[in-house]
Amino acid sequence: MAALLAPTTLWFLVMLIMPLIVILIFSFGERAAVGGYGGGFTFEQYANLPARLKAFQNTLTYAPLGTLLSLLVAYPLAYFLALKVDRRFKLVLLVLVIVPFWTSLLIRTYAWIYILGGRGIPTILEWIGIEGVRLINTPTAVLIGIVYGYLPLMVFPVYVSLEKLDKSLLEASNDLGGNSFKTFLQITLPLSMPGIATGCMLVFILLMGEFLIPAFLGGGKVFFIGNAMVDLFLQSRNWPFGSAVAATLVVIMLITVSIYMRLAMRNKTGADQSLM
Amino acid sequence: MSKNSDKQITSKQFMRQLWRYKRGSISRREFLGVTGLGMATAVMGAAIPSLLPQKSWASTDLGDRLVFSTWPNYWNQANLDEFTANTGVNIQVNAFGSNEEMLAKLQAGGTGWDVFVPTNYTISNYVELGLIQELDLSRIPNYDASANNPKFAGPATVNGKVYCVPKNWGTTGFIINSNKITSGPKSWKDFFEVTKGEGSGHTIVHDYQLTTIGAALCALGYSFNSIDPNELAEAEAVLIESKPHLFAITSDYQPGMRSGDAWMSICWNGDATQLHNDLPEMQYVIASDGGEIWTDFYAIPAEAPHLDAAYAFLNYMQDPAVQARDAEAHGYAPTDARAIALQPASLATDPILHPAEELMNGLEFGAAQTLTDPNRAELIARFKSA
Amino acid sequence: MRIYATVVYLFLYVPIGLIVLFSFNAGRHASELRGLSIQWYGKALSNPFAGDAFFTSLEIAFIVAILSSLMGTAAALALQSMKGPLRVILDGLIYISIMIPGIVIGIATLVALVTVFDFFNPLLATLWPEGYTPPKLHMGYASVIAAHTLFTMSLVIIIVRARIAGMDRALIEASMDLYASPWRTFYQVTLPQIYPAILAGFLLSFTFSFDDFIISFFVAGPNTTLPVYIFASIRRGITPEVNAIGTMVLAGSLSLLIVAQFFMRDGRRRAKVN
């Protein structure tokens, strides 16, 4: 039994616990004169955290908002695929949702720079008489990029939970005179909650550490914590402060995800049992 | 190609060859030949014959790769292709937007870079940190120190030792799209006024400390290189105030200017030539209240994995004809008088590249302390995340 | 509903279409279409750096997937019958390693390993016999594989555990009652039941590792993976060559999928015949 667990335990020790401890130690240190870690013990880095308040605010606003938007776009599609599509086309349509995932996220996001840039959608809007629309380097652009990038991650869990749904329940509800909206609210939606919970958590976790999408579509103006951290390590070479920001992000993640899981579990609707 | 190539290769043989190749006991060419992959490459390559590397002048084996880290839009692809054709050395170009980023990468170690392009103010720092090598000038016979203006080539020598060879020099001002910006800004003070006025939503500033903070300092009448905390605090206020009006914070400003999304940007003069040549409404301005004058160099990192190729590349790039072609592609002025002599008159007398002396009076070379000053580093990072 | 789905599929495929279209661009700039040509495919295929990056990514993803499925499955099996504080600690670690954003893993691993290397390299140099070049620890294959595996291993544990939970335990107990060795029980009873989960974990691990940018960006050292190579290419002004690489990767995975589909159908048919 111990032999089976040894590699995993070793991995956690070297690749998870040690790096986190190093980050924690560094976060109480001082920046060396030329950059990097300069030793010492101080709370200065944590005291300086308000200097990144905007990045934390942006992340904590756009991560939940992006998750919600992804869900709103994904749910009807998943519903359509699970309940409305002829069996013959189901597999093909499902695969078509994942295929975009197979070109690098970098290239796909870059394509949006052209679509949202001055010669893309704004030009098309000008033709139909709407002028002065700016999309690229705005929060809107970042949110579009987020929904685009993470849509498949949301569609799949929701699809799976809707697929498992007992269709006779829906029929029974309709037979008993419930209109289709009522059926949706009272039966479909609650039963698809596990899928929603799983999808939302997946997307939310990824968004909290997002770097690429705001970097490409935000033009350095819509800064996430991920961007602030890359900046601290790759431009200012301020390892201690970067470590403090990273440690804070980990704590925020632990708190939000724990609360989320607790809520989901208590409601019995549950984060998908298969995930945790 | 070896006689094996016309026989089918089994998967076992393929894996064996692959491991031999990985271990380095056979060359890439041999590997491709034996495994038949060469045929596939050749078929594709035949469509564009110039892509197939041919060894013709290399006297020693330089290997087949070189990793070259430089700035965006700062090389002539034809030169790199010719170097590859002549030596069999393929060049991977990495583009970086700032010296600070290059320093961060080198400090973390294991970059795999063979040659990179630092700016004057960083070199003494690199030497101090032991991140670059002293150059063996006997391996760069094309470099002629006497042809280079000491004003530009000076920073290459630290403590009497030569660490780099000069590439180009230039100025940092700003560019405007004169169709859109009509008030004719002349100084950094004007630049920040226009940013909040007619250029609102369409202005770009660089994403690293030296030029962006420097511009704000100049607008306030301070030195471009100031590290005085009070002056920096004032500069930060100028930047923060302009932030909502910016289109982007990036050093790769050409795409934005070209697409018409941006109308004004902090700009290096060679990029200004590139833009102006394609779009005449793009006008370069050397700010009357100061700014940067700089020299870029070629240097070899201490841990360069392909040293022989690096020296061959440096020597090739110092050839006056190659320098002239390089400058033709990116628009920056060479420091080497021999190369300038080979340039077409239009470039050698171009007012953007060779401004009148009196225009450059207020310009300053970046100072070494700005690179490592913690306040400047934190200021720019704070501004970006504000 | 159908219209809505069409709009979403358009949303998903317009950018992909642009990528493919521009990969056939004859011009130098990715943004302006100047006639059609396949020259960028030739360029991408004869570019040894793109090829290296592709094979590096492939190799790393493959090793990561194998390591994760082996260690993850082993751990999931062991954890199944385990109680007590160690179980709680390990569960917590699994949960944390899934939850920590990749960017933190990348940065923390970089900082920690650079520190460790800076400590060990001088030590190695002094211990090494005179006249030999001492080995030098640095970022590379091993650090990327180790960092990717942290996340994917936990992923496999979770997937496999869910499968074990849904498994018929009576079969295992029966096998034990019949004095089958634990290995034999595993091989003949447990494995056939959990292998779909292991396979799913393997594929997910592979995909994650192959497409990961942010962790590799920090810990890959001189070994450029494909996403890191693409990032660098994009920053030096995207040429259609990058689009060509993207299109080829897409075409490659699509054809793999079609082949897999074909084999699965074939297998099913044979199962029916038997």
Q: pLDDT 10s digit of each residue in chain C, 274 long? A: 889 999 999 999 999 998 898 889 887 665 667 788 888 898 888 777 788 889 999 999 999 999 999 999 999 999 887 888 989 999 999 999 999 999 999 999 999 998 898 888 888 888 877 777 777 777 888 999 999 999 999 999 998 988 888 777 777 778 778 877 878 888 888 888 888 889 989 988 998 999 899 999 999 877 788 998 888 877 766 678 888 988 998 898 888 888 877 777 766 666 555 4
The DSSP symbol for A31 reads B
Contacts of C237 in chain B (CB under 8 A): 72-73, 95, 252, 254-255
Residues 6+ apart with CB under 8 A from B336: B144, B147, B148, B166, B318, B320, B323
Domain with C59, as residue range(s), is 51-232
pLDDT beyond 70 at A240 = yes
What integer pLDDT is reported at residue A267 of this predicted model?
64
CA atoms within 13 A on the CB side of B252: 20
Do C30 and C42 touch, CB atoms closer than 8 A?
A: no
Domains along the sequence of chain A with CATH: 25-30+42-266 (1.10.3720.10)
Q: Amino acid letter at A104? A: S
Both structure tokens of C229:
């190579």
Are C42 and B64 in contact (CB < 8 Å)? Answer: no
C251 near A CB under 8 A: no
Residues 6+ apart with CB under 8 A from B380: A235, A236, B207, B208, B209, B212, B213
Are A54 and B385 in contact (CB < 8 Å)? Answer: yes
Are C237 and B255 in contact (CB < 8 Å)? Answer: yes
B109 near A CB under 8 A: no
Residues 6+ apart with CB under 8 A from C83: none
Do A20 and C93 touch, CB atoms closer than 8 A?
A: no
| Rounded CA separation B265/B252 (Å) | 10
C-alpha distance from B333 to closest chain A C-alpha (Å): 28
What integer pLDDT is reported at residue B21 of this predicted model?
54
Q: Please provide the CATH number assigned to the domain covering B65-168+295-348.
A: 3.40.190.10
CB proximity under 8 Å: A 79-108 to C: 79-81, 84, 93, 95-97, 99-108
Strand B90-95 versus strand B157-158 pairing type: unpaired
Task: Tell me, yes or no, if the two domains B65-168+295-348 and B170-293+354-385 fold the same way.
Answer: yes
Are B94 and C140 in contact (CB < 8 Å)? Answer: no
Residue C23 falls within a domain, yes or no?
no
Number of domains in chain C: 1
Are A4 and C98 in contact (CB < 8 Å)? Answer: no
C-alpha distance from A35 to closest chain C C-alpha (Å): 13
CB proximity under 8 Å: A 111-140 to C: 111-112, 114-115, 119
Give the other-Cβ count within 10 Å of C3's Cβ.
Answer: 7
C89: domain CATH number is 1.10.3720.10
Residue C126 falls within a domain, yes or no?
yes
Do A223 and A185 touch, CB atoms closer than 8 A?
A: no
**Closest CA relative to residue A211, chosen from A271, A145, A157:** A145
Are A235 and B248 in contact (CB < 8 Å)? Answer: no
Contacts of A1 in chain C (CB under 8 A): 78, 81-82
What integer pLDDT is reported at residue B50 of this predicted model?
41
Report the chain B residue with the minimal C-alpha distance to residue A45.
B378
Report the chain C residue with the minimal C-alpha distance to residue A25.
C112
What integer pLDDT is reported at residue B132 of this predicted model?
95
Are B246 and A221 in contact (CB < 8 Å)? Answer: yes
A207 near B CB under 8 A: no
Do B142 and B315 touch, CB atoms closer than 8 A?
A: yes
Contacts of B95 in chain C (CB under 8 A): 232, 235-237
Report the chain B residue with the minimal C-alpha distance to residue C30.
B255
What integer pLDDT is reported at residue C269 of this predicted model?
64
Going from the C-alpha of B18 to that of each of B15, B27, B31, B61, the distances in angstroms are 5, 11, 7, 21
Tell me the domain boundaries of chain B: 3-46, 65-168+295-348, 170-293+354-385
Report the chain C residue with the minimal C-alpha distance to residue B75.
C236
What integer pLDDT is reported at residue A271 of this predicted model?
41
Are B92 and C43 in contact (CB < 8 Å)? Answer: no
Residue C246 falls within a domain, yes or no?
no
Do B113 and B67 touch, CB atoms closer than 8 A?
A: yes
Confidence of residue A274 (pLDDT cuts 50, 70, 90): very low
B/e letters for B241-279, b = 16+ CB within 10 Å, e = fewer, are: ebeebbbbbbbbbbbbbbbbbbbbbbbbbbbbbbbbeee
C-alpha distance from C244 to closest chain B C-alpha (Å): 13
C37 near B CB under 8 A: no
Of C38, C43, C236, the CB nearest to B51: C43
Are B247 and A219 in contact (CB < 8 Å)? Answer: yes
The DSSP symbol for A210 reads -
Cα-only R_g, chain B? 23
Report the chain A residue with the minimal C-alpha distance to residue C98.
A205
Per residue, what are the HEC states of chain B?
A: CCHHHHCCCCHHHHHHHHHHHHHCCCCHHHHHHHHCHHHHHHHHHHCCHHHCCCCCCCCCCCCCEEEEEECCCCCCHHHHHHHHHHHCCEEEEEECCCHHHHHHHHHHCCCCCCEECCEHHHHHHHHHCCCECCCCHHHCCCCCHHHECHHHHHHHEECCEECEEEEEEEEEEEEEECCCCCCCCCCHHHHHHHHHCCCCCCEEECCCHHHHHHHHHHHCCCCCCCCCHHHHHHHHHHHHHHHHHEEEECCCCHHHHHHCCCCEEEEEHHHHHHHHHHCCCEEEECCCCCEEEEEEEEECECCCCCHHHHHHHHHHHHCHHHHHHHHHHHCCEECEHHHHHHCCHHHHCCCCCCCCHHHHCCEEECCHHHHHCHHHHHHHHHHHHC
The DSSP symbol for A150 reads H
Residues 6+ apart with CB under 8 A from A252: A56, A60, A208
Which value does ipTM take for this structure? 0.88
What are the mean pLDDT values of chain B's consecutive 10-residue runs (386 residues total)? 45 56 52 50 43 46 88 86 91 85 86 93 92 93 90 90 94 96 95 95 94 96 95 97 94 87 94 91 95 95 92 94 90 91 86 89 92 92 92
**Mean pLDDT (whole number) for A185-190:** 85
C-alpha distance from C46 to closest chain B C-alpha (Å): 6
Residue C4 falls within a domain, yes or no?
no
Do B115 and B66 touch, CB atoms closer than 8 A?
A: yes
Per residue, what are the HEC states of chain C?
A: CHHHHHHHHHHHHHHHHHHHHHHCECCCCCCCCCCECCHHHHHHHHCHHHHHHHHHHHHHHHHHHHHHHHHHHHHHHHHHCCCCHHHHHHHHHHHHHHHCCHHHHHHHHHHHHHHHHHHHHHHHHHHCCCCCCCCCCCCCHHHHHHHHHHHHHHHHHHHHHHHHHCCCHHHHHHHHHCCCCHHHHHHHHHHHHHHHHHHHHHHHHHHHHHHCCHHHHHHCCCCCCHHHHHHHHHHCCCCHHHHHHHHHHHHHHHHHHHHHHHHHHHHHHHHHHC
**Residue in this structure with the two tokens 């995207």, named with its chain if needed:** C238
Q: Report CA C50 to chain centroid distance, whole Å.
A: 19
Q: Classify domain B170-293+354-385 at the CATH class level.
A: alpha beta
C-alpha distance from C130 to closest chain A C-alpha (Å): 31
Do B252 and B226 touch, CB atoms closer than 8 A?
A: no
B227 near A CB under 8 A: no
**Closest CA relative to residue C104, chosen from A232, B138, B120:** A232
**Residue in this structure with the two tokens 């492939």, named with its chain if needed:** C58
C-alpha distance from B375 to closest chain A C-alpha (Å): 10
> How big is the CA angle at B189 (ends B186 and B190), to the nearest 5 degrees?
45
Of B44, B48, B110, the CB nearest to C138: B110
**Closest CA relative to residue A107, chosen from B92, B69, B67, C232:** C232
Going from the C-alpha of C6 to that of each of A81, A92, A96, C263, the distances in angstroms are 12, 14, 12, 30
| Rounded CA separation B318/B339 (Å) | 9
What integer pLDDT is reported at residue B287 of this predicted model?
95
Strand B203-205 versus strand B264-268 pairing type: parallel
Do B313 and B83 touch, CB atoms closer than 8 A?
A: yes
pLDDT beyond 80 at A270 = no
Q: What is the pLDDT of residues A32-60, one digit of tens each?
A: 888 889 889 999 999 999 999 999 999 99
Are B374 and A238 in contact (CB < 8 Å)? Answer: yes
Four-residue CA torsion sign, B375, B378, B381, B384? negative
What integer pLDDT is reported at residue C136 of this predicted model?
75
Of C11, C18, C78, the CB nearest to A148: C11
CB proximity under 8 Å: A 103-122 to B: 113, 117-119
What integer pLDDT is reported at residue C267 of this predicted model?
64
CB proximity under 8 Å: A 17-36 to C: 17-20, 22-23, 26
Are B380 and A33 in contact (CB < 8 Å)? Answer: no
Residue C30 falls within a domain, yes or no?
no
Mean pLDDT for chain A overall: 88
Contacts of B198 in chain A (CB under 8 A): none
